[in-house]
């Protein structure tokens, strides 16, 4: 148990695994509740928020050795970190891209550094194209050391025809512009 993480405290929303070696069952995986508690095998609800894996394991070990085992070995690991807690703690830098034009929801969208988003996914996050959107000439304005660069993308070809090699990734501070179709009568 001495090898368990003793640095990062467990946060609300983290998914952790609890395994009692002497129990010989698979690890129990669960999410830390908004109250900061988890359901520990044999013990019941126990506060996990603010404790490290090692501290929580020692707390559960003491409870288990009172009534259930003469010697208990408890292993705890954080399987999935709560992304919002990581952002608040500064562990994840939050970046943005902006969506303008003929889409359902214009605005500024989060682009976490640990996630890749393509142009088609960005359009879907914005609620899809609005009526009369020019789906074949979507602009991405990207800042480069040489100045702004405009990239034209046929998103209709990506979404309807499966032209996935043209589904480029969005980068920090990209501005996506969906213009209106030009009608000639």
Kindly state the average pLDDT of the residues 163-184: 88
Give how many domains the chain has, as a whole number. Answer: 2
- Which residues span the domain enclosing 121? 94-178
| H or E element that contains 57 | helix 53-67
Asked if 114 and 53 sit in the same domain, the reply is no
Is residue 152 included in any domain, yes or no? yes
Residues 165 and 101 in one domain: yes
The answer to whether 85 touches 13, Cβ cutoff 8 Å, is: yes
Q: Who's near 126: CB < 8 A, 6+ residues apart?
A: 99, 103, 104, 105, 106, 107, 109
pTM above 0.85, yes or no: no
Instruction: Return the pLDDT at 127.
Output: 87
pLDDT, tens digit, for every residue of 94-138? 688 999 999 989 999 888 666 788 999 999 888 889 889 999 999
Q: Does 128 map to a domain?
A: yes
Give the pLDDT confidence of 7-66 residue by residue, as tens digits. 788 888 888 899 898 888 888 888 888 888 999 988 989 999 989 889 999 999 999 999
């Amino acid at each position: 148990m001495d090898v368990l993480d003793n640095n990062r405290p467990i946060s609300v929303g983290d998914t952790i695994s609890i395994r009692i070696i002497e129990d010989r069952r698979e690890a129990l995986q669960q999410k830390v509740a908004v109250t900061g508690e988890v359901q520990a095998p044999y013990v019941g609800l126990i506060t996990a928020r603010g404790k490290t894996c090692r501290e929580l394991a020692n707390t559960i070990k003491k409870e288990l050795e009172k009534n259930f085992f003469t010697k208990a070995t408890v292993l705890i690991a954080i399987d999935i970190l709560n992304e919002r807690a990581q952002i608040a703690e500064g562990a994840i830098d939050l970046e943005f891209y902006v969506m303008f034009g003929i889409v359902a929801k214009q605005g500024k969208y989060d682009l976490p550094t640990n996630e890749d988003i393509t142009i088609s996914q960005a359009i879907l996050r914005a609620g899809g194209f609005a009526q009369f959107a020019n789906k074949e000439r979507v602009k991405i304005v990207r800042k480069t050391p040489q100045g702004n660069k405009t990239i034209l993308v046929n998103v209709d070809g990506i979404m309807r025809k499966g032209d996935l090699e043209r589904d480029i990734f969005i980068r920090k501070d990209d501005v996506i512009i969906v213009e209106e179709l030009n009608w000639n009568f």
